[in-house]
Amino acid sequence: MSDSPWRPRSWAALFARLVLGLIFFMAGVYKVFRLTPVGHVEKWFLPYRDTFLPVWSLWAVGLAIPFVELIAGALLLVGWRMREAFLALGAVLVVVTFGHLLAEPLYPFHEHVFPRLALLLFLLVLPREEDRFSVDQWLVSRGSRSGRQISA
Which pLDDT score is estimated for 82? Answer: 97
Residues 82 and 123: their CA atoms lie apart, in Å, by 9
39-57: pLDDT as tens digits: 999 999 999 999 999 999 9
Residues 112 and 147: their CA atoms lie apart, in Å, by 45
Q: Indicate the pTM of the whole model.
A: 0.89
Q: What is the mean pLDDT of residues 31-39?
A: 98
- What range does the domain containing 86 cover? 8-145
Which pLDDT score is estimated for 1? Answer: 44
In a domain, residue 82? The reply is yes
In a domain, residue 131? The reply is yes
In a domain, residue 56? The reply is yes
In a domain, residue 3? The reply is no
For residue 149, is pLDDT > 60?
no
In a domain, residue 152? The reply is no
57-112: pLDDT as tens digits: 999 999 999 999 999 999 999 999 999 999 999 999 999 999 999 999 998 888 88
In a domain, residue 2? The reply is no
In a domain, residue 77? The reply is yes
Domain tally, the chain = 1
In a domain, residue 71? The reply is yes
CA 118 to chain centroid? 12
CB 70 within 8 A of CB 124: no
102-130: pLDDT as tens digits: 999 998 888 889 999 999 999 999 999 99
